[in-house]
Chains A and B, each alone.
Chain A
Amino acid sequence: MPADSRSLVLQSCRHCGAGAPAEAHFCPQCERILSVARHGDYFTFFGLPRKLTIDLGDLERRFRDLSRRFHPDYFYNASPAERLASLERSSYLNDAYRVLRQPIDRVEYLLKLEGLAPAGRQQAGADASRLEPGLLEEVFELNEELDAIHRARAAGAPADEVSRRLEAAARPIEARAAQQEERLAALMARWDELMEEAGPAPRPVAEEGGSSARRQTLEALRTLLDERSYVENLLQLLARERGELHP
């Protein structure tokens, strides 16, 4: 598929053979429900631009509206092919809604869609250099400290002392987390701006040079997701310790 043909990606109706735009759910000619197209994506499916800022209320309304249009409940008396299409389209809708609703899942999905290797420490093992300098050391130390607090509490240290230590450890973790959320929001906004500038149906980022602004933004997002997973881990440990301290 040539890179610049994305706007032309069509579905075709398996019933009457007519072509339909990528965002269509029903055949414009025979009005039957369309099978899920091989090359569609979640944004297009919802009729949304490929942007990272999404109004969740609007997304939910679209989800309900689309559910009403092709849920299997309404295809009981239809042909087997239409019933299958309704099942597939509803499944796709539910999967898409689940991903787009969560900002992190949404970013990861976009990375994949634009042809960038996914975030995640498994794959990024060799790319630790991309992470913010000093982050790993800090994470390691905080991990040790939370472990030590856990052991101290198990050994019967006084609750107020444990609590003081825990809150001291919490401050840098929570500061990091807040900082990352801010950065995430900024990068998402940046991507959306670049998409505005790029106009309708730009080329996939993977086909652009390393210096393109869109590519740099996505790579920064990918790095941020990796960094974020370390801090997320710490936050979970923290929540567990707090939970055990104040059940």
Chain B
Amino acid sequence: MSHVVGIDLGTTNSLVAWVRDGEPAVIPDPVSGEVLLPSVVTVDDRGNVYVGREAQRRLLTDAGHTVYSVKRFMGRGAADVSDEASHFPFSLAGDGEGVVRIGLGERAFTPPEISAFILRELKRRAEAYFQERGEFDFEVDRAVITVPAYFNDAQRTATRDAGRIAGIEVLRIINEPTAASLAYGLDRRRVGTIAVYDFGGGTFDISILRVEDGVFQVLATNGDTHLGGDDIDRLLVEQVVSEMGGEPTPEVLQAVRLAAIQAKIDLSSQEQTELRVDLAGQGAAPVYRRVLDRASFERLIAPVVERTLVPCRAALADASLGPGQVDEVVLVGGSTRIPLVRRAVEELFGRRPHTELNPDEVVAIGAAVQANILVTGNRDMLLLDVTPLSLGIETMGGAMEKIILRNSTIPATGTEMFTTFVDNQSSVDIHVLQGERELARDNRSLARFRLRGIPPMPAGLPRLQVRFQIDANGILSVSARELRTGIEQAIEVKPSYGLSEEEVERMLLESFEHAEADVEARLLIEARNEAESVVRATEKSLRNPDLQAARGTELAPGEIEAIESALADLRDALNGNDRAALEAKTRVLNDVTRHLAEVLMNRSVRAALSGRSIDHVE
């Protein structure tokens, strides 16, 4: 039986988890042991795709071909993201209408395609893990994938499309805070009101849940899909760049960003840190350094933290609860490690939040639990989530008429009657929106529908009933019927910011072509890992205190110099992406150091045997 997994497709990191004998667990990479996969993707000029650490490394050498935080672009149009396009090193293209495209070298990719690369890497990781466990059928073909609770229909659909492009059947899209509550609910008391404060890399969510008899019922949810740790990083980066002066190259900017992230992380456990920007291949001296203390960091980021409290209050109001009526508060997402964030949450709810579970892993764990419920039909626990945004249609005059209100438990339905304005009119156009604003143009356009095939009748006579169905994924479908004739109407969907069925199919096929390029990419990663380990071993040998004694005795003249030159060659190759060169130079360095390694080994063995220090063994 193939496997099902839970996947947290995060802005910064992604990870995969499963349930083993009733116990959920995250799945580490069998080779590196790492659990978090950086959500970074590079496509090099030969079309090879790299995901994770390798791609993150390339941010510093090839920023223009490397995508991070792609989640921010899911289900969005080019016009939506034009403000923030300048913050990213990769190019964002696409006309005002339709889905945004990310240019990487020769090709442009949609956000679901980029996300699919990440999903496929997680799938590969999980399959390697199951294979290593000796399982006969190690295939991973189905998953529950999480999204921010405040994701709209287009963003959810884009996530589901990403799964399909990656060759994964998406059993369910669930909301991250709800998933986290499920993970916490496993061994917690069974009755109460829970607030889940989920502050991730790029998104913020708050969900208020009522838990009783194993039913996790979301009462209200709110959030901001463009508010996260990225925004904190950006504030620090802007400060550093203005202090550095000049116009940084994309690579320098990325070095600054990584240094800022490190400083942010340090300041969660230390009162002060050094923010230090080093550049690859530019000597040992940092190009920028500055001591940063927690108090000034907190002053800088206070407005960002304050912005998270607005949705919290709105969600409480929608749940008709005061902050004091919440029994437990759960923190999710890496940004909740920041002490200021914890204090702000504690102050708002008047109680100390839960942090027992790793905030980076709790969402994937919850997704795995939900995946397990779906395939086993186990009824101990049930998630009842809500739709975060009201769904409506544009009426005459450009207003929005709401049909399904926000915070309605899903699945949910709504119906609306339409008629015709002229005799024998055979079609009606409908514009579907999501959002809370009064005017249609201020809300999110989801799709335009055309009802066709209306039987010829005098104006105003047809009674067209349009039924909107939001399923348990929070995704909309529409059906229509003319009530006088009972004729089911044909509906043509034109998603405003999504991919058509045909596009998803095409991308799925293309992803198989990529599979070949991926093999090449994997070989390069392996070559690089091998080269790095040989470099590390050689550096260690060269630092060995016995080296000086061996020089001129066991070692031939010029032997050390030969080693140093081979080492420099390999380091050079590590800066590039040429696998053949890497492998060749790794071999050379391996060969020239073999004798040195033997010499040092013999010396240490002799020293150990004689129990004396080497200086006396001559």
A and B associate in one complex: yes
User: Given A94-B408, A95-B413, are A67 and B215 neighbors across the interface (CB < 8 Å)?
Assistant: yes
Contact residues, B346-400 vs A (CB, 8 A): 373-375, 377, 379, 382-384
In angstroms, Cα B438 to Cα A3, docked, is 43
Contact residues, A81-104 vs B (CB, 8 A): 87, 90-92, 94-95, 97-98
User: Given A68-B382, A73-B382, are A90 and B411 neighbors across the interface (CB < 8 Å)?
Assistant: yes
User: Given A72-B471, A95-B412, are A67 and B382 neighbors across the interface (CB < 8 Å)?
Assistant: yes
Judge if B171 is at the interface, Cβ distance under 8 Å. yes
Query: Chain A contact residues (Cβ within 8 angstroms of B): what range?
Result: 10 to 19
Q: Which residue of A lies closest to B383 (CB)?
A: A73
Judge if B159 is at the interface, Cβ distance under 8 Å. no
A76/B410 in contact, CB under 8 A: no
- Neighbour of A64 across the interface among B212, B375, B411, B472, CB < 8 A: B212
Judge if A71 is at the interface, Cβ distance under 8 Å. yes
Contact residues, B404-425 vs A (CB, 8 A): 408-413
Task: Write out the residue numbers on chain B whose beta carbons fall within 8 Å of the beta carbon of A72.
Answer: 411, 471-472
Judge if A77 is at the interface, Cβ distance under 8 Å. yes
Judge if B213 is at the interface, Cβ distance under 8 Å. yes
In angstroms, Cα B136 to Cα A2, docked, is 63
B409/A87 in contact, CB under 8 A: no
Instruction: Kindly provide the distance from the CB of B536 to the nearest chain A CB, expressed in whole angstroms.
Output: 48
Query: Chain B contact residues (Cβ within 8 angstroms of A): what range?
Result: 20 to 34
- Neighbour of B215 across the interface among A64, A74, A98, CB < 8 A: A64
Instruction: Kindly provide the distance from the CB of B442 to the nearest chain A CB, expressed in whole angstroms.
Output: 21
B215/A68 in contact, CB under 8 A: yes
Contact residues, A59-81 vs B (CB, 8 A): 64, 67-68, 71-74, 76-77
Task: Write out the residue numbers on chain B whose beta carbons fall within 8 Å of the beta carbon of A71.
Answer: 382, 384, 472
Judge if B268 is at the interface, Cβ distance under 8 Å. no
Contact residues, A112-171 vs B (CB, 8 A): none
Task: Write out the residue numbers on chain A whose beta carbons fall within 8 Å of the beta carbon of B212.
Answer: 64
B374/A73 in contact, CB under 8 A: yes
Q: Which residue of B lies closest to A76 (CB)?
A: B374
A74/B379 in contact, CB under 8 A: yes
- Neighbour of A76 across the interface among B171, B384, B411, CB < 8 A: B171
Q: Which residue of A lies closest to B171 (CB)?
A: A76
Instruction: Kindly provide the distance from the CB of A206 to the nearest chain B CB, expressed in whole angstroms.
Output: 20
Contact residues, B441-483 vs A (CB, 8 A): 469, 471-472
Task: Write out the residue numbers on chain A whose beta carbons fall within 8 Å of the beta carbon of B411.
Answer: 72, 87, 90-91, 94
Task: Write out the residue numbers on chain A whose beta carbons fall within 8 Å of the beta carbon of B374.
Answer: 73, 76
In angstroms, Cα B462 to Cα A61, docked, is 42
Instruction: Kindly provide the distance from the CB of A143 to the nearest chain B CB, expressed in whole angstroms.
Output: 21
- Neighbour of B409 across the interface among A73, A74, A77, A94, CB < 8 A: A94
Task: Write out the residue numbers on chain B whose beta carbons fall within 8 Å of the beta carbon of A87.
Answer: 411, 469, 471-472
Instruction: Kindly provide the distance from the CB of A104 to the nearest chain B CB, expressed in whole angstroms.
Output: 14
B373/A73 in contact, CB under 8 A: yes
A98/B377 in contact, CB under 8 A: no
In angstroms, Cα B382 to Cα A91, docked, is 15
Instruction: Kindly provide the distance from the CB of A23 to the nearest chain B CB, expressed in whole angstroms.
Output: 20
Instruction: Kindly provide the distance from the CB of B409 to the nearest chain A CB, expressed in whole angstroms.
Output: 4
Instruction: Kindly provide the distance from the CB of A86 to the nearest chain B CB, expressed in whole angstroms.
Output: 9
Task: Write out the residue numbers on chain B whose beta carbons fall within 8 Å of the beta carbon of A91.
Answer: 411-413, 469
B412/A94 in contact, CB under 8 A: yes
Task: Write out the residue numbers on chain A whose beta carbons fall within 8 Å of the beta carbon of B412.
Answer: 91, 94-95
Task: Write out the residue numbers on chain A whose beta carbons fall within 8 Å of the beta carbon of B382.
Answer: 67-68, 71, 73
Given contacts A72-B411, A90-B411, 17 further A-B contacts (CB under 8 A): A64-B212, A64-B213, A67-B215, A68-B215, A68-B379, A71-B472, A72-B471, A72-B472, A73-B382, A76-B375, A77-B377, A87-B469, A90-B472, A92-B413, A94-B408, A94-B410, A98-B408
Using a CB–CB cutoff of 8 Å, the interface residues on chain A facing chain B are: 64, 67-68, 71-74, 76-77, 87, 90-92, 94-95, 97-98
Using a CB–CB cutoff of 8 Å, the interface residues on chain B facing chain A are: 171-172, 212-213, 215, 217, 373-375, 377, 379, 382-384, 408-413, 469, 471-472
A and B contact pairs by CB, cutoff 8 A, 19 listed? A64-B213, A64-B215, A68-B215, A71-B472, A72-B411, A72-B471, A73-B373, A73-B383, A76-B374, A77-B375, A87-B469, A87-B471, A90-B411, A94-B411, A94-B412, A95-B412, A95-B413, A97-B409, A98-B409
